[in-house]
Structure 1
């Protein structure tokens, strides 16, 4: 079970890393196609989240709902995307912080840093939506790359 769990963390990290690099290297184009791609990635992350830890079904459901909204209304959701991403980041960061304090396997410096950075990104995006339009591609890219590194690190930690 630990082996499968570690592989899921690593796969999630690879997916987030690819998405993050796309945003950093093609920020303008990424925003135009982000809603569709992000929708499918959120659905995949929802499945992985539910498979990873069945108790984490709530996070999986949140990822699934966000993914479906992004796919069903791709053009209309850019503004909603900013709010959704900010909320998702804030909720995920709080959730990860709770995991840090309640699960012995998640007690590491990288995990707490990942939790705090996730919360900060959510607050930044939600506090100024106009700025969010301009910096969102870069914030998402950086966040996804940091998330990828954290998820892969956590996967190695669970695997050993």
Structure 2
């Protein structure tokens, strides 16, 4: 069972990294012409997150996070340009809430410390706050904010996957 979970962390991390790199390589095009691919990947990641919630502590957060990923993907798929300003704000709120929750979860589970996972959670809180409190500036730099947050998410997920792998050997 643990092997299954660690692989999901790694696959989810790789998927987040791929999406994040797209935002840097094709900043405007990723928002417009690659939105279908990005939306599909968010929906797949959402399903994986929900599947990963089985039998875990904090299951509600994983299910909620998975549903948010699926809804974000569906909205981006159906309304890629007309909802950009709303998506940026919703994404900012999601990153802020995710960062705060994961920070508390890492403190409770003993992951908090000088590591990539803690750094990622702190950066989530900062990015989320910047997007929520400066939405116009965030809209202009949205591809870079989103890309950076996704790459940081990828590093955190891969870190947890490797930590789980090493813990259950």
TM-score (normalised: structure 1): 0.90
RMSD over aligned Cα atoms: 1.7
Q: What pairs with 1:1-160 in structure 2 (closer than 5 Å)? A: 1-33=1-33, 35-54=35-54, 55=59, 56-104=62-110, 106-108=111-113, 109-160=115-166
* Cα distance in 2 for residues equivalent to 1:113 and 1:95: 14
| Cα distance, 1:38 vs structure 2 | 3.2
**Structure 1 contact 35–81 (Cα < 8 Å) conserved:** no
Mean Cα deviation higher: 64-73 or 128-137: 64-73
Structure 2 portions without partners, runs of 5+: none
| Cα distance, 1:18 vs structure 2 | 0.8
* Cα distance in 2 for residues equivalent to 1:115 and 1:72: 30
TM-score (normalised: structure 2): 0.85
* Cα distance in 2 for residues equivalent to 1:126 and 1:157: 32
Runs of 4+, deviation exceeding 3 Å: none
